[in-house]
Amino acid sequence: MDTFELAPSAHATRLFNGADLSNWTTRDGQPAGWKVADEVMHVVPKTGDIMSRQRFNDFYMHLEFRCPDMPEASGQAKGNSGVFLQGRYEIQVLDSYGLDIPGMGDCGAIYNQCAPLVNACKPPTEWQSYDVFFRGPRDGDAGPRLTVLQNGQVIHNNVELPGVTGAAIDEAIDEAGPLLLQDHGDLVCYRNIWVEELALVGSDTYEPR
Ligand code: MG
C-alpha cells in the first residue's frame, strides 16, 4: 500500500490547506513563523515548533515530509524535525536513508522509546509519508497505543508507549492534544496534513438499522 498523496478521508480535517498557516501557532500561541511556498510548509529555523489549533483524542493522521540533502551532516544533525502526536509523543523525522538497523533516535522512531521495525526511509529530497493510528490512554494506561506506517510500510505495530517523549508540551496524557511539528534547525518541509478524529467507542446497538 502506498499512501503517498493520499486524499483526505471524508471526515478528515485538513490541517494545512496549502496556502497559509492559519490553523497553526507557536507553542505559546503566537503566529507560526514557518513559511508556505508552492503549497508546501517549510521550517524556518529558529522560529520554533508549530502546533495545530485543533486538539485531538483518538485519530488517524496522514502527512508527508521531505528532508533536505545534508551530505556533510550525520546523526541527529541530518535533516532533523519531528511529528509530535497530541504534542506529547515524537515520531522522529531525520535523514536515516540507507541505515541497516535504525535505532530509537532514527527516522520513524518514537523518540527514545521504540525503534522502527524496518528502515522504510526514502532518500533525502524525496517526499515520504506517515500514517498514524493513535489510541489515547484508557484508565490507568501509562501512554497511548500507536500503529505507524512510513511510506506504506508498517514501522510500529500497535505499540503501547510508556509515557511522553522528550520536549512534550505537557504530561496531561488523558487530555486531547494538538499535532506539533518540530523546528530542529533543519530545512524540512511538510504537506498534505490531515487528521480524522476517531470515536472513542463504537455503538452498543445490536439491531441493524
Ligand atoms: Mg526530532
List the pLDDT tens digit at each of the 209 positions of the chain: 567 677 888 889 999 989 999 999 999 999 999 999 999 999 999 999 999 999 999 999 999 999 999 999 999 999 999 999 999 999 999 999 999 999 999 999 999 999 999 999 999 999 999 999 999 999 899 999 999 999 999 999 999 999 999 999 999 999 999 999 999 999 999 999 999 999 999 988 888 76
Place of cell 489510541: 135
- Give the pLDDT of residue 2: 63
- Give the pLDDT of residue 208: 74
Structural domain includes residue 202: no
48 Cα–ligand 1 center, Å: 12
CA-to-CA distance for 159 and 142, rounded, in angstroms? 12
- Give the pLDDT of residue 206: 85
Residue ranges near ligand 1 (ion) with Cβ within 5 Å? 80, 82, 182, 184
Structural domain includes residue 203: no
- Give the pLDDT of residue 1: 55
197 Cα–ligand 1 center, Å: 25
- Could you write out the DSSP letters of every residue in 138-206? -TT-SS-EEEEEETTEEEEEEEEPSS--TT-S-S-TTS-EEEEE---SS--EEEEEEEEE--SS-----
Range of the domain at 91: 13-197
Q: How many domains, the chain?
A: 1
Structural domain includes residue 6: no
76 Cα–ligand 1 center, Å: 8
Structural domain includes residue 110: yes
39 Cα–ligand 1 center, Å: 23
- Give the pLDDT of residue 198: 97
- Give the pLDDT of residue 209: 66
Structural domain includes residue 127: yes
112 Cα–ligand 1 center, Å: 11
182 Cα–ligand 1 center, Å: 6
What is residue 129's three-state secondary structure? strand
Structural domain includes residue 41: yes
Q: Are 39 and 18 in contact (CB under 8 A)?
A: yes
208 Cα–ligand 1 center, Å: 47
82 Cα–ligand 1 center, Å: 4
Structural domain includes residue 83: yes
Structural domain includes residue 120: yes
185 Cα–ligand 1 center, Å: 10
CA-to-CA distance for 31 and 77, rounded, in angstroms? 26
Cα distances (Å, whole numbers) of residue 17 to 25, 96, 109, 157, 175: 15, 28, 27, 30, 26
- Give the pLDDT of residue 173: 97
